[in-house]
Amino acid sequence: MSASQSAVRSRAEAVKVSRTFDWLILFTLFFVVLGGYHIHYMLTGGDWDFWTDWKDRRLWVTVAPIVSITFPAAVQAVLWWRYRLPFGAVVCILGLLLGEWVNRYLNFWGWTYFPVNFCFPSNLMPGAIVLDVVLMLSGSMTVTAVLGGMAWGLLFYPGNWPIMAPLHIPVEYNGMMMTLADLQGYHYVRTGTPEYIRMVEKGTLRTFGKDVAPVSAFFSAFVSILIYFLWHFFGKWFGGTSFTQSS
Amino acid sequence: MAATTESVRADAAEAPLLNKRNMFLGAALYVVFYGWVRWYEGVYGWSAGLDSFAPEFETYWMNFLYIEFVLEVSTAGILWGYIWKSRDRKVMSITPREELRRHMTHWTWLVMYGIAIYYGASYFTEQDGTWHQTIVRDTDFTPSHIIEFYLSYPIYIITGGACFLYAKTRLPTYQQGLHLQYMVAVLGPFMILPNVGLNEWGHTFWFMEELFVAPLHYGFVFFGWAALGVMGVVNTEVIAIAKLLKKDLA
């Protein structure tokens, strides 16, 4: 290759080529991250995300933020630290939510006939916006991990509350007390996931009923901070450009 | 004057930097094919896919599996073989414009990889969740697995392998060795397929129900992380393309 030759014929063409690459890169990055993030999330927190009768005040609130802060931290580590693009977390969540919504409509409802108001995904967008804004304003990985990570965990339940509140209303059914969400699960039988597999509301401090969700959210926030640190460095490694040397 | 005319003619006849037609046709191929696959699942999943001992299961599902095995091995052999066989043996002496054109073609492949990964890791994997949480399995080769594990995963593996091979055989950027993050981005998701062995072993011997967050599935998670290696590919490409365009954009 001769360094004196130009790859393009004019500045206008250079700009056009540059913009074309931007679109190609964004499309590919979006869908590859979507795929990796979605398979990660569905297999580490998926059951709580699939069904409303798994969306309890304890384990859903604890698990979902912890396992979902991973990819946003990693993608921020590249998009912000290399390109100063302040939307790493939001782009991850947009991808995840697109993958989930397409699936819940076309497959959960379209193939196995569960109503969408029984299997809609959790809302992770408030935490993602705050995570990106904290990084953009602070420019600090440590501040983002501590403040952003904490906000990520704490905002999860309030961010989903308007959607979930009607389904947590108690009802009496056949002499038993349950929530409307439980009742949905009771009527829409999932033979492959029997009731004994469902992990909700487990614990010894259930007498502190009203405190369950805040305690879980606070614990989740604490672990989210640690996970953010870890995945920031994962992201840095994955964004590397190293070659193994030919022997 | 004659030389100028010749140059203009050469420009007019020159292939475009990005062949958009190929890119949209490629994308349409995946989307239309998977649309047909989803239709097939919808029709024959419930009508012929519930009892693996039934004759119709053999007809509609096991035959589907055998056919896809043959087609996948043939496609991988022909595609990868062609890319390797037609490799550029003087890759370091191409013109900058040709290099730019090849980067565009490389990105056309990467766009296909994005689509293939989406269908494999997102669309058909979560679909597997709702199928197996609804239907009790009586075989490892369920309708959902025949599509997810043995169709959508091989397709993204074939596509990812084609991306990597194209870069390695035609782009000067990738001649200094093997790009570590690129290998991770392609080989990690590839390892999800062998990990099916662990999954089936576990489901066969001890856990017939479907709990998606069960530790039995963590192998898929670990290898799914490898998709992030695409960020390393992006960074490498940005450096290479910036070098090619730099003085014209400055």
Q: Which residue in B42, B228, B248 is closest to A14 by CB distance?
A: B248
Report how many Cβ contacts below 8 Å link chain A to chain B.
Answer: 254
Do residues B215 and B165 touch, judged by C-beta distance below 8 A?
Answer: no
A12 interface with B at CB cutoff 8 Å: no
Contact B231 A31 (CB under 8 A): no
Instruction: Mark which residues 99-128 of A lie under 8 Å from B by CB.
Output: 99-100, 102-103, 106-108, 110-112, 114, 119
State the residue range of the domain holding A175.
19-236
| Residue A141 domain flag | yes
| Residue A241 domain flag | no
A17 interface with B at CB cutoff 8 Å: yes
Question: Quick one: pLDDT at residue A245?
Answer: 77
Instruction: List chain A residues with CB under 8 Å of B227.
Output: 32-33, 35-37
Contact B133 A190 (CB under 8 A): yes
Instruction: List chain B residues with CB under 8 Å of A235.
Output: 228, 231
| Residue A245 domain flag | no
Question: Quick one: pLDDT at residue B3?
Answer: 46
Neighbour count for residue A13 (Cβ, 10 Å) = 16
| Residue A155 domain flag | yes
Distance CA A127, CA A130 (A): 5
| Residue A208 domain flag | yes
CATH number of the domain that residue A173 is part of = 1.20.1450.10
pLDDT per residue over A229-247, tens digit each? 999 999 999 999 999 976 5
Question: Quick one: pLDDT at residue B16?
Answer: 87
Distance CA B94, CA A81 (A): 33
| Residue A246 domain flag | no
Do residues A232 and A73 touch, judged by C-beta distance below 8 A?
Answer: yes
| Residue A69 domain flag | yes
Question: Quick one: pLDDT at residue A205?
Answer: 63
Q: Across B84-217, where does the E strand assignment appear?
A: 177-179
**Total domains, chain A:** 1
Instruction: List chain B residues with CB under 8 Å of A42.
Output: 125-126, 129, 212
Contact A241 B218 (CB under 8 A): no
CB-based contacts of B223, cutoff 8 Å, min separation 6: B188, B189, B191, B192, B195
Neighbour count for residue A18 (Cβ, 10 Å) = 15
Contact A40 B221 (CB under 8 A): yes
The burial of B42, by beta-carbon neighbours within 10 Å (0-12 exposed, 13-18 middle, 19 or more buried), is given as middle
Averaged in consecutive runs of 10 residues, what is the pLDDT profile of chain B (250 residues)?
A: 48 79 97 98 96 96 97 98 96 94 96 97 96 91 96 96 96 94 92 90 85 93 94 96 78
Contact B212 A47 (CB under 8 A): yes
Distance CA B42, CA B37 (A): 9
Neighbour count for residue A194 (Cβ, 10 Å) = 14
